[in-house]
Structure 1
Amino acid sequence: MLKDHVRIISALSASGEVVGRKKLQKMIYIAKKLSFPFQEKFQFHFYGPYSEELTLRVEELYNLGFIEEIKEKKGGYYQYRYSVTENGKEFLHLYETEMPHLKECLASMNEQNARYLELVSTVLYFDNLPKTEVVEKINKVKAKQRYTEEEIDQAYEYIEELKKIAKPN
C-alpha cells in the first residue's frame, strides 16, 4: 500500500507541479501504460481513463501533508494545483523507489494540455484495437472534443516518442 503512495509522490516530485486533476489522472495513466509500476485501476469515464483509487490516494497524501493541493477559481470552475510539500520530500527521501526515465516522461506530459492528454490516454485505453477502430471510438465517445484526424495522428506519434523516452535502447 505505502509503495503506491510513494510512487504518486515520486510522480509529483518529478513533475514539479501539475495543474489540474484531469491532467494528473491522465499523466499517471499514460505512465502506467508505458510500464511504469503504478498499480491504480482505471476505468473509462467522461474524460477518458479515470482511477478512483488514484483520487483517494491523492486525497490521503494531501491529508497526511505530503502533497499540496491549491484550489483556484478559474472562470466558472475550480482548478487544482498539485505539488510535493517539504514533509512529502522528506518522506520521499526515506522511501523513494527507482523509476528510471519517469521524470523525463512526466516532464514531457506536463508540457501538454489536459485536452491533448485526454486524447493520448484514450488512444492508449483502446490500444488493443486497430487504429481505424480507435479513431471510430474516439469520434463516438469523444465527439464533444472534436478531435481532428491530425490530432489523433499526433497522439499516436507522441505515444511512440514517450515509449522511446521510457525505454531507451
Structure 2
Amino acid sequence: MLKDHAKLMQAIAVSGEVIGRKKLQKMIFIAKKLSFPFCEKFQFHFYGPYSEELTVRVEELCNMGFLEEVKEKKGGYFQYRYTLTEGGTEFLAENQPEIPRIQECFTDMNSQNARFLELVSTVLFFDNLPKEEVQEKVFTLKSKQRYTVEEVDSAYQYIAELKAKTEVSQ
C-alpha cells in the first residue's frame, strides 16, 4: 500500500525542496525515462510531459499530511513549494523504497531551472525520433520558449550525463 506514494516522497525528500509544480512533473518524467521505478502515465501537454496521476498523488500526499505544499504569489503567478512534513519523514523512514542513485539524479535535476527541465523532458518524450526531428518538434511545439540549437544540444548532453549517473550502479 502507498508504494508509489513512497517513491514520490523519496524523490522529494532527497531533493530537499522542489519549487514548482511544473518542475516536479518534469523531474519525475525524466526519472521515469531513466528507468527509475515511477509508474505515472504522462501525455504531452502545454508545458511538455504532464501526468494527471502525479498531480492526484501529490494532492493525496498533501491531504494525508505527508507533503507540505506552500503557495506563494510570485509576480503575476503563483508558485508552489514542496517539502516532506515530519509525518512524511516518519512514514518514509519505515517504508523507504530501494531506489539506487535517486539522490544523485534528483539533486542534480533539482539544481536545474524549470525551463531547462521542460526542454529535457520534451526531448525525452520524443526520444524514439532522430535528433533532427526532435529539434524540429521542440522549435514547433515550444516556439514561445524560443529554445536555441545550443540549448537542445545541452539537453542531449545533460540526458547523457544523467544516464551515466544511473548506469554506475545498475
The interval holding the TM-score normalised by the smaller chain is over 0.9
Give the letter aligned to residue 79 of structure 2. Answer: Q
Please give the TM-score of this superposition, normalised by the length of structure 1: 0.99
Matching of residues 1-150 of structure 1 within 5 Å: 2-150=2-150
* Gap regions ≥5 residues in structure 2: none
CA distance, structure 2, for counterparts of residue 94 and residue 102 of structure 1: 18
CA distance, structure 2, for counterparts of residue 97 and residue 51 of structure 1: 21
CA distance, structure 2, for counterparts of residue 155 and residue 46 of structure 1: 19
- Once the two structures are TM-superposed, the CA of residue 152 in structure 1 deviates from its matched residue by 0.2
* Gap regions ≥5 residues in structure 1: none
Deviation beyond 3 Å, 4+ runs, structure 1: none
Deviation by residue 1:114-142 (Cα, 9 ceiling, x = unmatched): 00000000000000000000001001100
Q: Percent of aligned pairs with the same residue? A: 68
SS in 2 for 1:80: strand
CA distance, structure 2, for counterparts of residue 24 and residue 167 of structure 1: 23
SS in 2 for 1:27: helix
SS in 2 for 1:69: strand
RMSD (CA atoms): 0.8
Please give the TM-score of this superposition, normalised by the length of structure 2: 0.98
Give the letter aligned to residue 139 of structure 2. Answer: N
SS in 2 for 1:81: strand
- Once the two structures are TM-superposed, the CA of residue 68 in structure 1 deviates from its matched residue by 0.5
CA distance, structure 2, for counterparts of residue 136 and residue 26 of structure 1: 20
Deviation by residue 1:76-117 (Cα, 9 ceiling, x = unmatched): 100000000110011001111110101100000001000000
Deviation by residue 1:2-61 (Cα, 9 ceiling, x = unmatched): 111010000000100000000000000000000000000000000000000000000000
SS in 1 for 2:82: strand
